Amino acid sequence: MKNGNLEHLVNTALGIIKKDPRHVYNFGGFGGFAADMSDSTLALLRTMPGVEYIEQDAIVKANLGEVQHLEKKAYVTQSSSTWGLARISHVSRGSTSYTYDDSAGANTCSYVIDTGIYTAHTEFGGRATFLANFAGDGSNTDGNGHGTHVAGTIGSNTYGVAKKTKLYAIKVLDASGSGTNSGVIAGMNYSTAVNSAAANVVNAGVFLAVAAGNEAVDAANSSPASEPTVYTVGATDSTDKLASFSNYGTIVDILAPGVSILSTWLNGGTNTISGTSMATPHVTGLAAYILGFEGKRTPAALSSRLTTLSTKNKITGLPSSTKNYLAFNGNPSG
């Protein structure tokens, strides 16, 4: 709904449909709701002057140059790390160790909008909390594994980029990995509508990294990847090639490891899976790492910092329209 008295507009519309809404949104200038309604009610609501757009809910699924450095402080090395962690801490591929500053994302929070997190996993060391469930399944845990894997890459003890960040689960996808656009939007509150919600999260001061998608097409037609204010992530493999499944294009801001990524899984286990959803938590973790290392900054400034730090012109197989930027943590020893 358009800016103005959003609460009044939403309440007026809800009075017309005479049904309880599934979700109500009112944040950062983005107001609206998700509800079932008849065709006649839909037509009536579209004539209201305060209504900007109405769209049908949809099912969403989990998608399986000069080198810049950070100031040298208390760097430590994790031997025999995952290839993804090793890659983002070295300018050239081939290393098997992850080098990072011991601040490791301390005093930061990372929100995982996904299938939930198996918070009891010992790899999280008590830093993972289940925050909210918008999947509609009544289960306040991860029944799929995808969200737990993502959280592990962001901040687990062994597989994580930012090993001291606090992890919060906002569940919008069920055990099958499915959910709705309305659930995703509700998750962002604690297509056009998804992009609007994403933009308002960023405008509220939250850095938002999103997966480019796994269809091997231009990401310009994917939501929320196509929203300009979010930080969109494509995937690479261990040979420094664009992953065969990764979406691409001008809308992709950065690339990160996303093929055969080992991370946490359900019931205290681990799993190796691939996808731009595996690349994105490398960048989310890196964002938390930089915030813990350098201090608070706006989403735009953090995006710019990630881009500046990135390793340039190392990835092959890229369409000419795609930026050749690979995520890098600024390790001074390169």
Q: What is the pTM of this model?
A: 0.77
The yes-or-no verdict on residue 6 having pLDDT over 60 is: no
For position 191, what pLDDT does the model report?
41
pLDDT attached to residue 178: 61
pLDDT tens, 268-301?
A: 999 999 999 999 999 999 999 999 989 989 999 9
Most confident of 35-39, 72-76, 106-110: 106-110
Check residue 106 and give its pLDDT: 94
Q: What is the CATH number of domain 75-326?
A: 3.40.50.200
- Helix (H), strand (E) at residue 95: none
Tell me phi and psi for residue 312, to 5 degrees.
-100, 145
Q: How far is CA 329 from the centre of its chain?
A: 18
What pLDDT does residue 65 have? Answer: 40
pLDDT, tens digit (0-9, with 9 covering 90-100), for 243-254? 999 999 999 999
Residue 80 has pLDDT above 90, yes or no: yes
Per-residue pLDDT band for 69 (boundaries 50, 70, 90) equals low
Strand order in the sheet with 231-236: 209-211, 231-236, 254-257, 325-326, 311-312
Structure tokens at 318: 């890229």
68-82, 152-166, 191-205: which has the highest mean pLDDT?
Answer: 152-166
Whether the per-residue pLDDT at 119 is higher than 70: the answer is: yes
Residues 6+ away with beta carbon under 8 Å from 186: 23, 25, 34, 134, 172
pLDDT for the residue numbered 165: 96
User: pLDDT, tens digit, for every residue of 126-183?
Assistant: 999 998 888 888 899 999 999 999 999 999 999 999 999 999 998 988 888 765 656 6
Among 27-31, 218-222, 265-269, 316-320, whose mean pLDDT is lowest? 27-31
Map out the domains of the chain as residue ranges.
Answer: 6-54, 75-326
Query: Which residues share a beta bridge with 71?
Result: none
According to DSSP, the residues that pair with 248 across neighbouring strands are 218
The rounded distance, in Å, linking the Cα atoms of 12 and 48 is: 10
Mean pLDDT of the chain: 85
Q: Which of 232, 266, 274 lies closest to 116 in space, CA to CA?
A: 266
Beta-bridged to residue 259, according to DSSP, are none
Structure-model confidence comparison of residues 14 and 262, the more confident one: 262
Average pLDDT over residues 85-93: 98
If you write DSSP's letter for every residue of 171-198 in order, what string do you get?
E-B-TTSEEEHHHHHHHHH--HHHHHHH
SS3 199: helix
Share of the chain above pLDDT 70, in %: 81
Which pLDDT does position 60 carry in this prediction?
53
E strands, 28-171, in order = 30-34, 59-61, 75-78, 98-101, 109-114, 128-133, 166-171
Contacts for 11 with CB less than 8 Å, ≥ 6 apart: none
Q: CA-to-CA distance for 84 and 307, rounded, in angstroms?
A: 18
Task: Give the chain's length.
Answer: 334
**Strand ordering across the sheet containing 109-114:** 109-114, 166-171, 128-133
Supply the residues annotated as catalytic: 114, 146, 277
pLDDT at residue 33 in the model: 72
Please compute the mean of the pLDDT values over residues 114-125 and round it to a whole number: 96
Amino acid occupying residue 13: A
Q: In whole angstroms, how far apart are CA 236 and each of 62, 180, 243?
A: 18, 28, 5
What tokens does 111 get? 């929100």
Structure tokens at 99: 């080098």
Task: Specify the pLDDT at position 242.
Answer: 98
